[in-house]
Structure 1
Amino acid sequence: MSNENLVASVSVKDVAAAAGVSIGTVSNVLNQPERVLPATVARVRAAIAELGYVRNDAARQLRAGRSSSIGLIALDLANPFFAAVAKGAQERAAEAGLFVLVAASEDTRDREMAYLDHFSQQRVVGVLVTPASGDPDALKRLEAAGVRIVLVDRDAGDAPLNSVSVDDEEGGYLAVSHLLSIGRRRVVFVGGPSTLPQVLDRFRGARRAASEVADSSLEHLETAELTVLAGREAAAHILERDAADRPDAVFCANDLVAVGMLQGLAILGGVRVPDDIALVGYDDIDFATATVVPLTSVRQPAVEIGRAAVELVLEQGEQPQPRQVRFTPELIIRESSRATLSI
């Protein structure tokens, strides 16, 4: 018989027999060791180690009706913003004695639904999710089945769901207002796909800022993804234009796109940033300060968003009505939109 089969065959009854105690005492050692004499705890733990006993958490969760885990479904874990959200969620969950199971939908509804189904089967305490679509029906069904749902980086709108979001329209407004305030007038918003609510909201804010300055213009250069490569490809489109027809400012829908834009313009295209083209990103990821020209960016408090989302899961038993938490973004000005530095 293999070691794996031996471990699987060891039961609480076997541990109790080896330690010379009752099954109830073993259970107390596993779940409430403070109720057992230290010498007995040591004897039971020695038996567990000798026999190689592994507790069956799946069965324990089935009996309890819930697990000690929270599911988190992000759009893209390669994006540092979502990694920071997960960090905040893990911090707050750990404080409550819970764990976070992290998954990525890759902005695909089928994959999102598969993870939602899996987390439901695992009887997680709740699910934090940045939806891959605007359809809340599946999430509402999970809520009705007792799984606590919190939308992350997405406003719930009229849906009866908890949410933690950032005022992205205000963020877009801050970015373009800043570019206009330093004398830029031909602004291009780079990012997509336009089906993402965050992208639409940031563009709406940018458009509102541009409408307040009579001689300004704003165009939208849509990308298929919010990645560094997409930013470089967008930069190539700008470089194809005659110099007189190029924008004098670019606002990117996130920092990854902005990093690619900076690489394409300044390093590959010989464009001076910010002298020729000023550049602003969004999210204020850690890498924004380490680019060849430090990046001006609209900061989202990603860690705080993750913590707040877990907090909503924890309070739902006491707060039956859905609650929406919305953070205010902050513009962080660096060299990419200052006229004193060029490369």
Structure 2
Amino acid sequence: MARQPTGEPPSTPRARPATSIDVARLAGVSRATVSHVLNGQIERFSEDTVERVRGAAAELGYVRSAAGRALVMGRSDFIIVVVPYATFIRLQDVIEVISADIEELGFTMVVHFDVARGRGTASNRLQHMVETMRPAGVVDLGGLSLADREAITESGCPVLPRRLPSAVNRWIGTLQVRHLHSRGHTEIAYAFLADARDDPYGRGRASAVAAFCEAEGLAPPSRVHVPIEPEGARRVLRELVQARGWPVGIACYNDKVALALVFAAKGLGLAVPADVAVVGVEGADIGQVVSPRLTTVASDVADSVRPFRAALASAYGGRSAADDAAPPLDDAFFLLLGETT
């Protein structure tokens, strides 16, 4: 039976993507010349040849192969940003700032989320990415172990910044506990988020809290893990005050943990901040519109990631060192006073 017309024009086959052979044919040069010119190796070619190749590529909409660039140049145009397997309320803001810098330097950002695994073990998945993508560099937001860093560096790929980015978390923990102690608190606790994810940020902050307590002759801080649900948060706080008494000052992993403890205290009939004082981290908007208003460690995102931006500029060019110099930590991170301490 003959096929009936549908009233719609017949679909046309999709045109195949342009290849380097197409560019070479249109420009009247060899394929090798196209490869060299489009990879920036133009010293041996005349200005007319370079313009013809680039013009042909633009006219055909030719997109270079990342794998081909990596083979020619020894690296690709990718920079991998490694994000710890941890909760981070302002992650999108941080990624946007770093992404803009990476694009300005002429690279493409690839975000790699670290996964939960044993501490001190290298990530096979990340190592595979480095070996196959041949990135220009890896930016570590605090998710790489020493084993990761050593393995990546040995493969010839730079890890930025070159030192472990742990000073920031130590400073945040110190800000929290120092403020609690200035309010007269001698019973101190650190509250992690109860979560299956490995938390390198929280570990660094908790270690700073413990170091401060030791230096001040205080008892070692308790460590608790707070679920973000009412009954679980009340249970954790109840057990904490039974063990330490009150008043107790609690440095919290983030604002969500701090808010969970504020409402848990209310449910247990404990006054905030007289019986339970809490300090959060990240300066989330929600913490500033509730009552009592949350005391927290806040930051300017651009300033807080300035060490990573400085490392990128130093390694690949871009803005001057003065523009990207990392500000003092007490300028980048500051205590936002509320009503919970």
> Is the structural similarity TM-score above 0.5?
yes
Aligned to 2:155: 145
Aligned to 1:249: 249
Aligned to 1:113: 124
Taking the aligned partners of 1:230 and 1:125, their CA distance within structure 2 comes to: 43
* 1:171 maps to amino acid: I
The Cα shift of 1:119 comes to 2.7
Render the CA deviation track for 1:164-210: whole Å, top value 9, x for unaligned: 342544433332232232233433221278x8564444334334544
* 1:12 maps to amino acid: S
The Cα shift of 1:102 comes to 0.6
Render the CA deviation track for 1:99-156: whole Å, top value 9, x for unaligned: 221121134357933123213320101112356574x2342232122100135xxxxx
Q: Does 1:126 align with 2:137?
A: yes
Q: 1:21-60 counterparts in 2 under 5 A?
A: 21-22=28-29, 44=56, 47-49=59-61, 53-60=62-69
* 1:48 maps to amino acid: L
Secondary structure of the residue aligned to 2:127 is: helix
Aligned to 1:221: 223
Unaligned runs of 5+ in 1: 152-160, 319-324, 339-343
Larger mean Cα displacement after TM superposition, 110-119 or 236-245: 236-245
RMSD between aligned residues: 4.4
199, 202, 217: which one aligns with 2:205:
202
Given that 1:187 and 1:247 are in contact with CA atoms closer than 8 Å, whether structure 2 keeps it comes out as no
Unaligned runs of 5+ in 2: 1-11, 318-325
Q: TM-score normalised to the size of structure 2?
A: 0.69
* 2:209 maps to amino acid: A
Q: Does 1:333 align with 2:336?
A: yes
**Aligned pair in 2 of structure 1 residues 208, 78: CA closer, same or farther (>3 Å)?**
closer
Taking the aligned partners of 1:58 and 1:207, their CA distance within structure 2 comes to: 48
The Cα shift of 1:234 comes to 4.1
Given that 2:247 and 2:274 are in contact with CA atoms closer than 8 Å, whether structure 1 keeps it comes out as no
Secondary structure of the residue aligned to 2:184 is: coil
Taking the aligned partners of 1:306 and 1:239, their CA distance within structure 2 comes to: 37
Identity rate of aligned residues, in percent?
Answer: 20
Aligned to 2:189: 188
Aligned to 1:265: 265
Aligned to 2:4: none
* 1:102 maps to amino acid: V
* 1:188 maps to amino acid: A
Secondary structure of the residue aligned to 2:64 is: coil
The Cα shift of 1:276 comes to 3.7
Q: TM-score normalised to the size of structure 1?
A: 0.69
Given that 2:84 and 2:143 are in contact with CA atoms closer than 8 Å, whether structure 1 keeps it comes out as yes
The Cα shift of 1:72 comes to 1.2
Aligned to 2:321: none
